[in-house]
Structure 1
Amino acid sequence: LMGTTSFLSRARALLRIRNQLVRECLAELLSTFIITLSGAAQKITSFEMKGNLLTSYLAGALAVMAGIYIAGGISGAHMNPAFSFAMCLMEQFPWWKFPIFMFVQTLASFLSAGAVYILYYDAIWHYSNGTLTVSGPRETASIFATYPADYVSIANGFLDQVIGTGVLILVIMGIMDTRNKAVPKGLEPVVVALLVLSIESSMGSNCGCPLNPARDIGPRLFTYVAGWGPEVFSRGNGWWWVPLVAPLLGAAVGAFLYQLFVAFHYPEEDSDVLTEQGSIVLVNTTIDPDIGMLPKEKDTGGTVPAGYPPPPCASSTVSPTVPNTPLKKS
């Protein structure tokens, strides 16, 4: 036991990363990897065992819950560029971090698709009769990325994703808003998982309900290089760009609808309480708006002293506990 403790202490001293941004990226990488791994692996089980998509949706929702528990206190467990985009619009997340998070989330999804391919290599080739196809009765490309049903047009699929992602972000806004009906602390990931399950099971028939640009484009790129070929981009009349663009628009719609119908109308006399508790319409003052660093990071040249715990990210689905200040009136 002493030897193990000593080894862990030495490993921590050697491998510990102090840079805040790098720690957040590592947390995003791991949590996004988990949600893609679970969702794609469950789809393969449905293919082979002739199951239904509900089991796949359930696995994906539980993976979202796991991802939030893994990274919620470090990076906010965005795991989705649409969520990061909404947080930027709400001034809860710096814009300069958005492309970084989107790249990390996409990379994680790409790597996760590769892991699923390796894990179920024999099953995929057995099911496909030795041919990796994007369409037809034995296609396997939809294990990794989403494709529209044959009867769904590009316009209908685009609207589908705007509405689905809009509902997702709108309800998450309500979950995060401490002025609204509070979710018991620590159960936010469970509630978000139930929300994802509800949306996927009720809105998944048109195009598989991607809702997440990184979750779709990362595995799609993997299938392109792994042998499925360019048809992964041409199937469905060039469908590939819809899960990349529509969720971002849906996130903006959902975020602003919550502000317009709920958040803008709270009594102003609650402002002192809200400053202490934090709220989704409040700005995280622990982040310098110019360089996006925590105050302690600026003092130490971009690092955090040993033993200094990072505050929960204000853009997480876990209720923030850091001090916040109200947005300026427009």
Structure 2
Amino acid sequence: MIGLGFSSKVMAEAMGTYFLVFAGCSAVVVNKIYGSVTFPGVCVVWGLIIMVMVYSVGHISGAHLNPAVTITFAIFRHFPYKQVPLYILGQMLGSILASGTLYLMFDVDEDAYFGTVPVGTKGQSLMMEFITSFMLMFVISGVATDNRSIGELAGIAIGMTILLNVFIAGPVSGGSMNPARSIGPALIMQKYTGLWIYVVGPLLGTIVGGFAYNLIRLTDKPLREITKSGSFLGNIAKK
């Protein structure tokens, strides 16, 4: 039996991912059809919608909104493995429904495809997805799993990371960093070119990014405890 509390978490993930994909991909579609958003505008929309959703549902489900993030949290024991399948199901459902909504709303043809396909070589796209996903998970680990960070700023930090990464990766790979973001549009429009890149790249990138942050983490103690006695640099030197 699934408890009501956990059901609300899965629903929050589904709704959060729906709005994430709807807003971000809407910007892509509108820009391709009407040309009024511009590429920088698309980047800003992705960053803003992530920030908004983190603050909207982060206190309910953690606002993963990304199967790669969910799996990485589980690997590093920040999230129970038994909840992973339903979280991913909620995220995928949200992405598919959002993609379906956009497909019905707009006359989306091949040129207005709002999914992600490699623009450069497949190798370039894979590396770009890996590196940007690494950066994303590194930031998420810092602001969401380290109790020394300022938690209230998590949404801003994650949103700005997404904005930056889409600026970098958008022209090369589409800047997905999220298997659900790529799989939903691909299923609705049945366009699977290079889809494996947007599963393998983000998953490997987030796992290595999570590992890297855990590797450099100095202590689990809050910053106020570290600085309580002696100098901060002195305490770091002893680690």
* TM-score band, normalised by shorter chain: 0.7 to 0.9
Structure 2 residue ranges without an equivalent (≥5): 227-239
Structure 1 residue ranges without an equivalent (≥5): 1-16, 125-131, 134-138, 225-231, 275-330
Residue 162 (structure 2) pairs with residue 209 (structure 1) = no
Mapping 1:192-271, distance limit 5 Å: 192-224=158-190, 232-233=191-192, 235=193, 239-260=194-215, 262-263=216-217, 265-266=218-219
Residue 37 (structure 2) pairs with residue 48 (structure 1) = no
Mapping 1:138-217, distance limit 5 Å: 139-141=111-113, 143=114, 145-149=115-119, 152-180=120-148, 182-183=149-150, 185-217=151-183
CA distance in 1, matches of 2:199, 2:118: 14
SS of equivalent residue, structure 1 residue 201: helix
Which one-letter code corresponds to 2:176 in the other structure?
A: P
Which one-letter code corresponds to 1:97 in the other structure?
A: Q
CA distance in 2, matches of 1:161, 1:201: 12
**Identity of aligned pairs, percent?**
25
Partner of 1:26: 11
Q: 1:60 and 1:90, CA in 2 relative to 1: closer, same or farther beyond 3 A? A: same
TM-score (norm 2): 0.86
Q: 1:114 and 1:169, CA in 2 relative to 1: closer, same or farther beyond 3 A? A: same
CA distance in 1, matches of 2:221, 2:40: 46
Stretches of 4+ aligned residues off by more than 3 angstroms: 177-180, 268-271
Residue 48 (structure 2) pairs with residue 62 (structure 1) = yes
SS of equivalent residue, structure 2 residue 56: helix
**Structure with more of its chain in helix, by fraction:** 2
Which one-letter code corresponds to 1:102 in the other structure?
A: I
CA distance in 2, matches of 1:26, 1:198: 28
TM-score (norm 1): 0.63
